[in-house]
């Protein structure tokens, strides 16, 4: 084992970490917001159909094709090139981010939907008979219960998105995977380089797993045998 090489490799891979984290956090924020909107849309008949079709398309196709479609595909349309969005859509950064957000929204909206469906009808009725407004019920009962229910699935989605950010390297972006890919074609020491990169991703996802387990215990202590808060 060539430890100087490994050390250098870690150092240069970590230079890509900010971009990876940037994509990760922003796509989760954007995707989460869009997922909430998609669920609100589901209260109307047309909105429900639109949200259903959206989820069908984005969950039924690979993220890679979504990224390419936005990065290479949209540029083929004259009206896109003429629009005010073109300064953004010509940049691989914004195309990658847009694809990640759209993709995350489809998965997250289904997780949220599952959580909302699992809220017991009785808990909502108990809120209604105590005179709460719709908004108060949503804020004090439905969303807290749905969120607790959805948390394990959502923490998987958070890790999935971390892994998904690696795909932006295919449209020239130098995130950790992009740097690893470039280093491979320079040095041809693929195994060492890839293991370094994998170790960094793994460390982050382990942190997420730990945090979400802690958070789950904090939010739903009664599931873990604690009788008092």
Partner 1 sequence: MEFGKLALLGFGPEGWGLVLVRAGLMTLAVSVAAFVFGLGLGILIAWARIGGNAVLRRLAEVYVVVLRGVPDILVIYLFYFGGRQVVTAIGTGLGFEGPFDISGFVAGMLAIGLISAAGQSEVLRGAYQAVPKGMVEAGRVVGMTRLTLFRRVIAPQAMTTALPGMGNQWQSVIKETALVSVTGLVETMRQVSVAAGTTQEHFLFYAAGAVIYLCITTVSDQIFRFAERRSLRGHPQGGM
Partner 2 sequence: MTDAVETKAVGPALSITGLRKTFGANEVLRGIDLSARDGDVISMIGASGSGKSTLLRCIPMLEIPDSGTVTVGEDSLSPKGGRLTRAEEATARRMRGHLGFVFQNFNLWTHRTVLQNVIEAPLFVQNRSRAEAVDEATALLEKVGLAEKRDAWPAHLSGGQQQRVAIARALAQRPRAILFDEPTSALDPELVGEVLKVIRSLAEEGRTLLIVTHEMGFARDVSSRVVLLHQGQIEEDGTPEQVFANPRSDRARAFLSGHFDRTR
If one asks whether residue 215 binds partner 2 (CB under 8 A), the answer comes out as no
Site for partner 2 in 77-136 (CB under 8 A): 120, 122-123, 125-134, 136
* Interatomic CA distance for residues 148 and 177, integer angstroms: 33
Q: Which is nearer to partner 1, 92 or 144 (CB)?
A: 92
Q: How far is CA 223 from CA 13, 114, 162, 218, 226, in A?
A: 40, 19, 28, 10, 8
Residue 117 near residue 150, CB atoms below 8 Å? no
Q: Which of 152, 168, 63 is nearest to 106 (CA)?
A: 63
Binding mask 96-125 for partner 1 (x = CB under 8 A): ------------------------------
* Interatomic CA distance for residues 148 and 219, integer angstroms: 7
Residues of the shown chain interacting with partner 2 in the complex, contacts defined by CB under 8 A:
120, 122-123, 125-134, 136, 140-141, 144-145, 148, 219-223, 226-229
Residues of the shown chain interacting with partner 1 in the complex, contacts defined by CB under 8 A:
56-57, 59-66, 68-69, 72-77, 159, 162-167, 169-170, 177, 180-181, 184, 188, 190-191, 194-195, 197-198, 201-202, 204-206, 209
């Amino acid at each position: 084992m060539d430890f100087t090489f490994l050390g250098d490799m870690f150092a240069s891979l970590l230079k890509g970490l900010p971009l990876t984290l940037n994509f990760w956090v922003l796509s989760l924020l954007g995707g989460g917001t869009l997922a909430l909107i998609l669920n609100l849309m589901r209260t109307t008949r047309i909105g429900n159909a639109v949200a259903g079709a959206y989820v069908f398309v984005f969950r039924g196709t690979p993220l890679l094709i979504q990224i390419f479609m936005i990065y290479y595909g949209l540029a083929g349309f004259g009206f896109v090139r003429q629009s005010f969005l073109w300064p953004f859509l010509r940049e691989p950064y914004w195309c990658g981010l847009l694809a990640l957000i759209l993709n995350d929204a489809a998965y997250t909206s289904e997780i949220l939907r599952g959580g909302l469906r699992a809220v017991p009808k009785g808990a909502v009725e108990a809120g209604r008979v105590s005179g709460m407004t719709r908004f108060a019920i949503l804020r004090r009962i439905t969303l807290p219960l749905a969120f607790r229910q959805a948390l394990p699935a959502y923490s998987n989605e958070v890790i999935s998105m971390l892994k998904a950010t690696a795909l932006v390297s295919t449209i020239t972006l130098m995130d950790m995977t992009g740097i690893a890919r470039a280093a491979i074609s320079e040095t041809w020491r693929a195994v060492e380089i890839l293991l370094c990169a994998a170790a960094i991703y793994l460390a982050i996802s382990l942190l997420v797993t730990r945090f979400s387990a802690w958070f789950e215990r904090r939010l739903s202590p009664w599931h873990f045998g604690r009788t008092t808060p």
